[in-house]
Structures are given as C-alpha cells and as structure tokens.
Structure 1
Amino acid sequence: MSPRCCPPRNASASPKSASSVMNNIWIRGKRFPMSSLSKFDIFKFARSLILAAALPLGMTAAVMAPAAAQAAETMSVEVGKPLQAAQKLAKAGKYAAAMKKTREAAAVKKKTAYESFVVNDFMGYLAARLGDYASAVKAYETSYGSSYVPAAQKPKRLQALADMAYRGKMYGKAASFASQYQKSFGPDRHMQVLVMQSDYLRKDYPAAVKSAAVLVAAAEKSGKAPEESWLQIQMASAQQAGDKKMQASALRKLVKYAPSDVYWKQYLADTQRAIGTSDRMTLELDRILRAKGYMDSSRRYMEAAQIAIQLGLPGEAKALMDEGFKKGVLGGKDKNRELRLLNMAKKLAAEDKQSLAKDAPSPKGKAALGEAYASYGQYDKAIALYKSALAASFPEAGLTRLHLAQAYLATGRKAEARKALAGIKDGKAAKLAQAWLLLV
C-alpha cells in the first residue's frame, strides 16, 4: 500500500539510510556494532561464576568419623592402636600426622575385611581433610559398596563422593556420582546443579545444555524463577555446542527472569537479525526500543521519524520528534535540522488527520487506517478497525494482530494484549510478538 500523505523518498532518506540506525546498539552509554554483539560471549562469565561457587564438604567428617571411633573397640591391637592414635590426632586437627598413623594400620598384614574397610574409610576422610581429593574419592568409592556401610549412610556418602570429586576437578566422576545419587534416592537440586557444573567444566556442552534444562524446567514447573546462573550456563553451553535454538531460548528466559539492559539489548539485536532491516521491520523494532527507553540518540529519533513518514504515519513521526525534544536527546548541535523535520511532521500530520476516513473497503486498508488512528492516540477507533480487518484472512494479519496488541497495551488492557500476542504464530510478526510478550 503506498503512503497516504508522504513526500517522495530522496537520497538522504533512502531505505538503507533510514534503517541504518539499527546497525548499532547502546549498552551502558557505549555504542556496540551489531557485529560485535553477535559475538557476545557469555562463556567466560559463566565459567568464572562456576569457579566461584562453593560446594559443602562438611558432611564428610560426619559420615566417616564414627567408623574410626568404633575401630579401636572392635579390631586387633595391631590395627586398632595406630587407628586410635590417628583419631586423636585428627580431632586435634593434625591430619598429616593422623594419616601417617593410619598408614601404619594399613601396613598390617592379614587384616580382616572389617579392619580393611575401616582403615580405608578413615584414610579417605583424612585425605579429604588434607585436600587430596583424588585419594579421598578412591577410598570412599571403594568403601561405598561395602556391606559394612549402613543403608541410612548411603545417601550422604554418595553426596560426599560427588562433592569431593567436584572439588578435585574430577568432573566426569562428579557428574556420574551426582547422577547416580538422583537415580538411587530421587531428584536433588544440589546434585543436579553439580551435574550441570561438572558437564560444563569438562566441556561436554551438549550434556550441560540438557542438565541445565532439567533445573530450569523444574523451577518453572514449581512456579519459581530459574536461577540466573543456570540460564547463563545453559546459554554458554548452547553457544559452544552450536545449539542456536537453545541459546535463543536461554537468552529469552534471562530477559524474562533476570532482566537487564545487557540481556535486553542482546535479545533485541538477535531479534533485529531475525526480522531484517526493512523500513517496516525497523519501525516495528523502534517501537519496542521506545517502550524500553532505548531511543537514546538524535540519529535514532531522526531516522525513526523519517521511516514513519515514508510509511504514511506522520502522526507517529511527530510523536517521535516531540518525545526526542522532551527527553533532551534532540535540540543539540543539529537542532535546526531536527526542527525542520519536526515542522514537516507537524504539517503532514495535520493534513493527514483531517483526511482520515472512517473505514476502508479491504482488510489491508482497515489495518492501515487503524495504524494511522493509533498514531494519533485514537486507540478505540484503531482497535475497532483492527478487529474488523482480522475478521478476514489476509497476508498482513500477523502484523495487524501485533498492532492490535499494542493498542490494547496503550489503553491498559494487558490481558487482551497478551491474548492477541499469543495468537501470532508465524513469520516476523511472531518474532516481534515474543519481544512484546516480555514487556507485558
């Protein structure tokens, strides 16, 4: 449909020029080209986040110390005496000396099965206290399957194994132990976090995507927001695995559950790449930028206003220029040029407003007329025209439904806006609708 009241395009307002404002995006007052944002790397951030995490190890002492205490009463003197001495040294915090005594007990030949179990168990405990997690895991893994381990101790022992393997940077074992725990004793958030972190740190990114998804889905099912760190890891892992669909999903959830300018602007940059840079798509994205308060440069306001005029929406062009001057973004060194554009928008808008029809014969015409009324703040008329247009099937129905949702939002009818947006399933309009749903 040709613009209803617009001057012909000139060289300074060509489609390419008018759309170029979206080639850059602003984060914390600095300009970043779209090309740099497309390489936005969450990998290092997620890695530092994991390495800073502390996993509890206190359960180890509680699980293992009782076996050592029992040893002196039930063992031979050759084994029990050094173990008893080792226990006293351990209680005093002298773990290296305690380990030396425990090795004396381990050196005794012809030990019973129980004596071997207790000696091995206590060596594992001391190794953990000394930070020798490889030896601790080896000892605990050996004793875990023993008949001397009470069934009630099994869950805590397996948790201890998973935690120590993680601390010892044995990420494959950590993930295996944590997964085994959940298979044997049921879902556990701490163990699932450990699986996710271990998968990520051993660079099994497809597995990390899946283990993060388990945490995210469980949180959402319970009505809670997933933790930001889980989504960070999910996004970083998807990026490394080349899973663009999951990367986009994780970013969207970061915007939803942990909104920040960085996430929003990355999300909008991705949206812009998906919908393209035609004048129509640029104007649609500019409307989201306005809603988020991201129209922060004279160039952006000027080019958005020019596009609005070219698309037959001088009322929106005038509103853009008025807003830019009110915010103080316009009126600087290019004030004279900006005022000329404002005055042109005012003149065209006054003429256009007087000539607006009450209805149009085709669905496409009704939709265009509704958008014009909306640009002047006459949302009730716009809504009626949009609804009338949508009673029929036509190619621009997706965008018309999007504009209907925007009109609902402008009048505070959020529930109706959400319903309209949710009904947009295909094409570029669906990409835009997903962004608007995050704003409702």
Structure 2
Amino acid sequence: MNMTTVTKGLSKFVLRTSVALPLVLAPAVSVSVLEAVGVSASFAQANAQSEEKTRKAPSMRESAFKHLGKAQEAADAGNWQEALAALREMEAGKDKLNAYETAQMYYFYGFVNYSMERYPQAINYYKQVLAQGQENLPVALEVGTLLTIAQLYFVQEDYKQALVYLNKWFALSDDVTADKYALRAQAYHQVGESGKAMADITKAINMYEQEGKTPKENWFQLQRYFYYEDNDYKNVAKVLEKLVKYYPKGEYYKQLAGMYGELKREDDMLHMMEAAYVAGALQKEKELLNMAYLFMGAEMPYKGAKVIDKGIKEKKIERTSKNLESLAQAYQMAQELQKSIPELEAAASMSDKGDLYSRLAGIYLDLDKNEKAVSMGSKALQKGDIKRPDQLYIVLGMANANLKKYDTSLDYLKKALKDKRSEKFARQWISFVENEKNRAEQLAM
C-alpha cells in the first residue's frame, strides 16, 4: 500500500522588525529573526547578565547624548537620512568621543542602516561596536550586538558567519533560552552539521517540555526531519504523535499513518488514516482509494464502499470501470448484493473485456435469477477476452438447465469439458442434465 511519505521540506525564514529604539540605546537585539524557530526580540530588549560579568565602562557625556538624541528624534519620525546626518555630525567629532560613546554611535548607525534594509552596511557598523574593545563595552551591549550580527547574517543567508557570532554569544550570555538553541539548530542545519543541529533542537524541545510548555511546531518539524534522515522511524513516529497532539493537522495524520505502516503497526495505521480522512486531509483519488482498501483489508468493507461512493459522487474519484468494480467488490464483501450489482453492471458496461459480465452471470445464478445469468453470460461472450471461459460455460450450463433448456445447457457444459480445470465438474453436470432431459421427455410422452 502506498502511504504518504514524510515531507522533508523546511520552513523558510521569516523576518519581523521592531520599530522602537530607546534614547539611551539599551543593549539589545535589533531584529527579530526566524519566527519559525520562535525567536522573539526587539530593539528595546536587553540581555540580563550576572553580576560576575558586569564591567566598568566609560560613561556617556552630555554632548554625545545630545547628538544621539537628535538622531533618535529623526529615527522615531522615520526620517532616516536626517538620522544619518545627525550621526555624521557626531562622527565628525569622533576624536573627542570616548570608546563607549563611539560604540553607541556605531550601534545607532547599525540600526538606521538596518531600518533602511542596508544589511551589509548594518553588519559592518555593528562590528565597529565590538571593535571598541570588551573593556569599553557593558556586557549587555556586547552580548546584544553579537546576537544582532548573527541574526543579520541569517537575513543574508550567510549561515557560517551567523554561527560564528552566535557561538560567541553563547559563550558570553547567561540567558541561553530554548529559543536560542532552536535558532542555532537552524544555522547548523543550513551548513550541514546535522549532529549539532539535532542536539540543539532536542535541547530546545526538552527545555520547553521540562517547563511544562508546548514546544514550537517548527521545532518538532526539524527534529522529525533529522530522525527521518537517519531512518529512525520509531522516533519519527514519536515526534509526529506530539505534532498530532499539539498541532492537529491532516498532513500530520497522514505522515504518522505512513510511519505506522513502516513499523508494521497496521491497526494504528488504519486509525490514523481514518483520522486523516475525517479531518478532510485525504483529497486525492489515490489517497481515498488507499483508505477504502485499508477498510476492506481490515474487514470493514462497508466503510470502504462508502469512501469510494462518496469520492465518486464528489468527483474526487474518477468513475472508471476499475473504480466501480472496487466499489462493487466492497459492497459484495459487506453482503450488500443489491448495492453491489448495479455498480458491477456499470463497471462491466464500461470495460472492454467480458470478465465483469462473467462475474455478474455467476452472481445472478447464485441469486436464482437464471434469465439474468444467461443474459450477462451472453454479453460476456460477446465482449470476449475472458480469463476463465470454462467457468462461464458451467454457469451458463447450470442457468439453462434451471430454465429447462437442456440442449443449450449441454452445449455449454461440453465446451467446459475441454478445460481440465473444469472437466470433472462439467461431467457431473452433464450426467445430471442428461438425466433431467430424459426424465422430462418421458413425462411428456
């Protein structure tokens, strides 16, 4: 049975921006990157640091504060060129600035260039912040700048450089959250370091679960991807079970059903496929037919028939001879002969072979509808290309015998004699029919 395979595609990165910047340029992450992995930050967010990592940095003087205030006012109004002009005016007196004031100036330069979507320039300015030396920067400013640069490299899709700065941030930060592990996992994945990516995304998920929180959907997706690449279907199934629980979607039902199939958990596969069907996730003809076949294989043929019948009516399953035959078979297995026969007749009329009419002849014979059996048998012979004509000859022989058409019956039964598979049975019926014919002739005398 062809089951839907686990998708391997990963979510694209989504960039969100923050519009506010505090006057004093609080050390912060200046962009929120990778919504897919749950990173959420703004220019106003600062990284809390332990007392052990605080530093004695130079203070900001009033003159520098005024320049930055002017740039801030322009930025708040969205006048980026005016903000740049204020910063250039400040930079013109750079020799009078201390290292901390210079760092804050470059930090604001970075923000303005980022806001203008000039990402390479923004990165260069943020690097100038770090170039002022650790001894001149508060820990929070250094940490925030490192993360900002890493995120901007994500925007540029330069994942190797993003990792360089992200790892520096990890080494210095006291606030490594699950979101950050998920962020780094994405970076490692992009550069092909699957082992490290798997370790980080698992760490992120475990941290959330230990806190009683639901991990992000895309975290599970990434973890599932790595397990699938390792052919670890047991763990793929476990991840998908969580996705079905926390983020119930038809696609996850189908993927989990596929994994249960790989693990030979047939009952679970059936239940999950049924859940996908109920959720409306099975829309393609192949998927719907597979669902029907699963029901039929699990001795629930009537459910299978309803799936096919509904699919045909909704034009999701094509009304072909083969599909109508499957519908008829499902009804027949469910002992619903009255529903089976019309579908099989429709299938037979559309087929270019006589086999389906041959089957119908046998069904009508069993129902003691001998004239219909003869009619269907005749249509079968007209179309030809019958797999077991000997069996049809016996059916026609029996039906004609029941109608007391003994000579016609014997003609068909003698044709069946030519096939060794039916020879014994045909001889028995020939003997019976000849006796019935003789008895009828004697009664008529």
**Does structure 1 conserve the Cα–Cα contact (< 8 Å) formed by 2:256 and 2:269?**
no
Correspondence list, 1:25-174, <5 A: 25=3, 34=4, 37=5, 40-43=7-10, 46=11, 48=12, 50-52=13-15, 58=21, 62-63=25-26, 70-72=60-62, 85=67, 87-93=69-75, 94-106=82-94, 108=95, 115-131=98-114, 132-143=121-132, 145-146=134-135, 148-150=136-138, 154-155=139-140, 157-169=142-154, 170-174=161-165
Higher relative contact order (CA 8 A, sep 6+): 1
SS of the aligned residue for 1:63 comes to: coil
Which position in structure 2 is the counterpart of 1:434? none
Which position in structure 2 is the counterpart of 1:416? none
AA aligned opposite 1:124: Y
Of stretches 202-211 and 83-92 in structure 1, the one that deviates more from structure 2 is: 83-92
Cα deviation, residue 172, structure 1: 1.5
**Does structure 2 conserve the Cα–Cα contact (< 8 Å) formed by 1:234 and 1:250?**
yes
Cα deviation, residue 323, structure 1: 7.1
Q: Which of 285, 289, 302 in structure 2 is aligned with 1:321?
A: 302
**Does structure 2 conserve the Cα–Cα contact (< 8 Å) formed by 1:159 and 1:191?**
no
Q: Which of 150, 153, 176 in structure 1 is aligned with 2:167?
A: 176
**Does structure 2 conserve the Cα–Cα contact (< 8 Å) formed by 1:123 and 1:136?**
yes
AA aligned opposite 1:63: A
> C-alpha separation between the residues in 1 aligned to 2:223 and 2:295?
35
C-alpha change, 1:272 and 1:329, in structure 2 (3 Å) is: same
> C-alpha separation between the residues in 2 aligned to 1:155 and 1:201?
28
Q: Which of 270, 275, 279 in structure 2 is aligned with 1:286?
A: 270
Cα deviation, residue 70, structure 1: 3.0
Q: Structure 1, residues 204-227: CA drift from partner, whole Å, max 9, x if none? A: 333222221112101111222111
C-alpha change, 1:103 and 1:61, in structure 2 (3 Å) is: same
**Does structure 1 conserve the Cα–Cα contact (< 8 Å) formed by 2:289 and 2:308?**
no
Cα deviation, residue 54, structure 1: 5.1
Cα deviation, residue 200, structure 1: 3.7
Cα deviation, residue 63, structure 1: 1.8
> C-alpha separation between the residues in 1 aligned to 2:182 and 2:26?
22
Cα deviation, residue 158, structure 1: 1.1
AA aligned opposite 1:166: Q
**Does structure 1 conserve the Cα–Cα contact (< 8 Å) formed by 2:250 and 2:276?**
no
> C-alpha separation between the residues in 2 aligned to 1:297 and 1:326?
7
SS of the aligned residue for 1:62 comes to: coil
Question: Identical aligned pairs, as a percentage?
Answer: 15
Correspondence list, 1:361-380, <5 A: none
Unaligned runs of 5+ in 1: 1-21, 26-33, 74-79, 276-280, 309-316, 346-440
**Does structure 2 conserve the Cα–Cα contact (< 8 Å) formed by 1:165 and 1:174?**
yes
AA aligned opposite 2:25: A
Which position in structure 1 is the counterpart of 2:331? 339
> C-alpha separation between the residues in 1 aligned to 2:102 and 2:290?
75
**Does structure 2 conserve the Cα–Cα contact (< 8 Å) formed by 1:86 and 1:98?**
yes
1:301 aligns with 2:268: no
> C-alpha separation between the residues in 2 aligned to 1:196 and 1:178?
14
Of stretches 212-221 and 327-336 in structure 1, the one that deviates more from structure 2 is: 327-336
AA aligned opposite 1:95: A
SS of the aligned residue for 1:41 comes to: coil
**Does structure 2 conserve the Cα–Cα contact (< 8 Å) formed by 1:59 and 1:160?**
no
C-alpha change, 1:42 and 1:254, in structure 2 (3 Å) is: farther
C-alpha change, 1:164 and 1:238, in structure 2 (3 Å) is: farther
Q: Structure 1, residues 261-313: CA drift from partner, whole Å, max 9, x if none? A: 111211211221232xxxxx6566335534654697466435643x45xxxxx
Correspondence list, 1:230-309, <5 A: 230-236=219-225, 247=236, 249-275=238-264, 282=266, 285-290=269-274, 293=277, 297=288, 300-301=291-292, 304-305=295-296, 307-308=297-298
Of stretches 172-181 and 329-338 in structure 1, the one that deviates more from structure 2 is: 329-338
SS of the aligned residue for 1:42 comes to: coil
**Does structure 1 conserve the Cα–Cα contact (< 8 Å) formed by 2:201 and 2:219?**
yes
SS of the aligned residue for 1:185 comes to: coil
C-alpha change, 1:123 and 1:166, in structure 2 (3 Å) is: same
Determine which structure has more spread, i.e. the larger CA radius of gyration: 2
**Does structure 2 conserve the Cα–Cα contact (< 8 Å) formed by 1:124 and 1:136?**
yes
Cα deviation, residue 340, structure 1: 2.4
Q: Which of 172, 179, 196 in structure 2 is aligned with 1:207?
A: 196
**Does structure 2 conserve the Cα–Cα contact (< 8 Å) formed by 1:225 and 1:257?**
yes
> C-alpha separation between the residues in 2 aligned to 1:259 and 1:69?
54
SS of the aligned residue for 1:343 comes to: coil
Of stretches 86-95 and 228-237 in structure 1, the one that deviates more from structure 2 is: 86-95
C-alpha change, 1:303 and 1:207, in structure 2 (3 Å) is: closer
> C-alpha separation between the residues in 1 aligned to 2:303 and 2:185?
50
> C-alpha separation between the residues in 2 aligned to 1:174 and 1:243?
32
Cα deviation, residue 193, structure 1: 4.0
AA aligned opposite 1:199: Y
C-alpha change, 1:136 and 1:339, in structure 2 (3 Å) is: same
> C-alpha separation between the residues in 2 aligned to 1:55 and 1:234?
29
C-alpha change, 1:323 and 1:234, in structure 2 (3 Å) is: closer
Q: Which of 223, 226, 230 in structure 1 is aligned with 2:215?
A: 226
Which position in structure 1 is the counterpart of 2:355? none
Cα deviation, residue 174, structure 1: 3.9
> C-alpha separation between the residues in 2 aligned to 1:245 and 1:326?
30
**Does structure 1 conserve the Cα–Cα contact (< 8 Å) formed by 2:58 and 2:98?**
no
> C-alpha separation between the residues in 2 aligned to 1:300 and 1:241?
28
AA aligned opposite 2:253: W
